[in-house]
């Protein structure tokens, strides 16, 4: 989003908060939860059409899934914000060559899934629904896809899920909020209103939702990969996961950025799957 437009929107919502703080907070949350891109592009269609496609419904959302069948364990892939299942193409091809069954999911409001709104808590429910349907053994999530995977398994642990891999994942929901509020320049009225909105809708304040803390309660083995030069999600988020030494294997990379689309990262993934 254009920086000048961000300032204008932030100013408008701040101004609105003096007259109707609840409405201003609701507007801020809606903006925060509305992806501007992430739909399937024409050049991506051909590749995704090589998969067996199925729509799985969670509440009123139709979740698009893509399946490439193999003879080994089932690996579920969950992309991040404003992306879609095509982002996994290179990893999918590698997993296919090793005869894994691969399932990729388009998040709500992304790819070919329905809906216009998206957040980590909603995504976590969708991931759970798909993982249960396909009896997934491993879930790999990029960025908020990783965070949502942790949320999902913490709330409703599936016995089939033995391993989780997060790539450049945010550790705490509150930090995501803080970065968004700073970017938009929101005042304290808006910030407080957003927290109260989350409390009312999900029964917990944003501070409660910590993937790093939740990972301690998950039985599955967890691999966390985070790049020191990640400009989207700070490296310190990855270090928060590292504190859980008994459950979490942590790998720090340098120079691969937030996307972590690299052969070296793919090798870390395969080594963890084979361990």
Q: Are 149 and 75 in contact (CB under 8 A)?
A: no
CB atoms within 10 A of CB 158: 17
Cα 57 from chain centroid?
A: 19
- Classify each residue of 256-269 as buried b or exposed e, where b means 16 or more C-beta atoms within 10 Å of its C-beta: bbbbbbbeebbebb
pLDDT of 3 higher than 90:
no
How many whole angstroms separate alpha carbon 259 and alpha carbon 205? 29
Q: What is the pLDDT of residue 33?
A: 94
Burial of 103 (0-12, 13-18, 19+ CB in 10 A): buried
Please report the domains of the chain, with CATH numbers, ordered by start residue. Answer: 33-172+209-274 (3.40.50.1820)
Could you read off the pLDDT of 83-109 as tens digits, one per residue?
999 999 999 999 999 999 999 999 999
Decide if 122 contacts 93 (C-beta within 8 A).
no
Note whether 69 and 52 are within 8 A (CB): yes
Give 151-206 pLDDT, tens digit per residue. Answer: 999 999 999 999 999 999 999 989 999 999 999 999 999 999 999 999 999 999 99
190, two tokens: 């808006």
- Nearby residues of 209 by Cβ (< 8 Å), 6 or more positions away: 120, 121, 151, 172, 173, 174
Confidence bin at 1 (pLDDT 50/70/90) = low
Q: How many Cα atoms are found within 13 Å in the side-chain-facing hemisphere of 169?
A: 34
Distances (CA, A) of 137 to 35, 67, 100: 29, 14, 10
For 54-92, b where at least 16 C-beta lie within 10 A, e where not — what string? eebebeebebbbbebebeebbbbbbbbbbbbbbbbeebb
pLDDT of residue 245: 63
Report the run of H or E that residue 63 belongs to, with start and end: strand 61-68
- Whether the per-residue pLDDT at 254 is higher than 90: the answer is yes
pTM of this prediction?
Answer: 0.95
How far is CA 262 from each of CA 107, 215, 222, 241, 253, rounded to the nearest angstrom?
23, 25, 20, 22, 10
Q: How far is CA 50 from the centre of its chain?
A: 24
Give the pLDDT of residue 2: 74
pLDDT in tens, 222-231: 999 999 999 9
**Rg value, the chain, Cα:** 18
């Amino acid at each position: 989003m254009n920086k000048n437009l961000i300032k204008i929107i932030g100013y408008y919502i701040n101004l609105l908060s003096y007259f109707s703080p609840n409405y201003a907070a609701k507007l801020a949350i809606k903006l925060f939860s509305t992806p501007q891109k992430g739909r399937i592009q024409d050049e991506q269609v051909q590749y995704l059409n090589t998969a067996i496609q199925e729509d799985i419904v969670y509440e009123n959302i139709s979740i698009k899934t893509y399946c490439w069948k193999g003879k080994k364990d089932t690996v579920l892939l969950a992309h991040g914000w404003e992306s879609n299942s095509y982002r996994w193409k290179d990893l999918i091809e590698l997993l296919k060559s090793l005869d894994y069954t691969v399932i990729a999911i388009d998040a709500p409001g992304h790819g070919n899934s329905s809906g216009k709104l998206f957040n980590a808590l909603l995504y976590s429910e969708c991931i759970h629904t798909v993982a249960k349907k396909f009896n997934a053994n491993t879930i790999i999530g990029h960025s908020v896809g990783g965070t949502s995977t942790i949320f999902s398994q913490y709330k409703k642990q599936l016995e089939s899920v033995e391993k989780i891999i997060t790539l450049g994942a945010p550790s705490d929901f509150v930090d995501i909020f803080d970065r968004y509020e700073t970017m938009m320049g929101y005042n304290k009225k808006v910030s407080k209103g957003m927290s109260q909105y989350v409390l009312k809708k999900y029964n917990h304040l944003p501070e409660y939702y910590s993937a790093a803390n939740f990972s301690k309660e998950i039985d599955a083995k967890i691999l966390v990969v985070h790049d020191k030069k990640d400009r989207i999600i700070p490296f310190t988020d990855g270090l928060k996961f590292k504190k859980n030494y008994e459950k979490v294997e942590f790998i720090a990379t340098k120079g691969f950025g937030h996307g972590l689309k690299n052969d070296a990262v793919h090798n870390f993934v395969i080594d963890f799957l084979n361990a």
